[in-house]
Amino acid sequence: MSNADFGGESMGGWTGRAGEPSPRPMATQRPTSASPAAPFAVPFAASDDGENDRTRLLIAAAHDLLDEAGLEGLTIRAVLARTGLARRAFYERFQGKDDLVLAVFDSSLRSAALRFGEMTRQVASPTEALRLIVSGIVVGQLGHGQSGGMEGGAHLRSAALSREHLRLAQSRPAELQAALQPLLDLMAGLVAAGIAKGEFRPAEPHLQARLIYNLVSTTVHTVLLQEEGGAPDLSEREALAAAIWDFCRRAIVA
């Protein structure tokens, strides 16, 4: 499977802050004799709020550690020290660090899909709604402080997840695809609406959504790796977002 198949499961780095609501937090499903290759996670049982809280605590700690020191700072020992939970509590939910990173991807992407959905719900034009999503993926993950500057923590986390997705896209593609699906569905819905309104040329909406996402995420992924260790430039990202959107728009307009 090529990198383009998954573009950048970190959404090029769009990563929701720890503690923000996520539509479906994930818990570990350990393999059994009947299921030797069980996936890393299944939705929580709705009845066990204590289990949900502890898993959310672990994911939130992973977010914070990635903000502070990037991927090198994210270790199981550091997560347990940050949460005060026992090692057993971690392994009841995750089989290892990869599962925790996948849970961070899942939480981030699902949270971002919700945010984009809320952002575009009141936008009448599918073209403008899709532009907002493309720009949000390129620029929004940088994390703007109240002064308008960029928060270094969000950038460290974005770069770390962009690096990690290259490996996980090969070893855990199904989980990454499942995490990405809500965003792709949202984008495909906007493409379908644009076709119905005559704004976009007829095409298969889900294919168009994936092509757009792959272009955006792979471009931002490359930029993140180039910027790693340095300060991101907001004006350059805004210019990049405008250029990428212009390219996408020309490809899909009627």
If DSSP codes are grouped into helix, strand and coil, which group holds residue 74?
coil
Residue 12 has pLDDT above 50, yes or no: no
Tens of pLDDT, residues 49-63: 566 889 999 999 998
Tens of pLDDT, residues 125-162: 999 999 999 999 888 654 433 333 345 556 677 777 77
Residue 93 has pLDDT above 60, yes or no: yes
* Confidence grade of residue 166 (pLDDT, cut at 50, 70, 90): confident
Only one residue has tokens 């780095």, namely 13
Domain interval for residue 243:
3-252
Count of structural domains within the chain? 1
> What CATH number has the domain bearing residue 181?
1.10.357.10
* Confidence grade of residue 190 (pLDDT, cut at 50, 70, 90): very high
Query: Contact, 225 vs 232, CB < 8 A?
Result: no
- Across the chain, what does the average pLDDT equal? 77
3-state SS, one letter per residue, for 172-235: CHHHHHHHHHHHHHHHHHHHHHHHHCCCECCCCHHHHHHHHHHHHHHHHHHHHHHHCCCCCCHH
- 64 vs 54: CA distance, rounded Å: 15
- 253 vs 198: CA distance, rounded Å: 9
Residue 15 has pLDDT above 60, yes or no: no
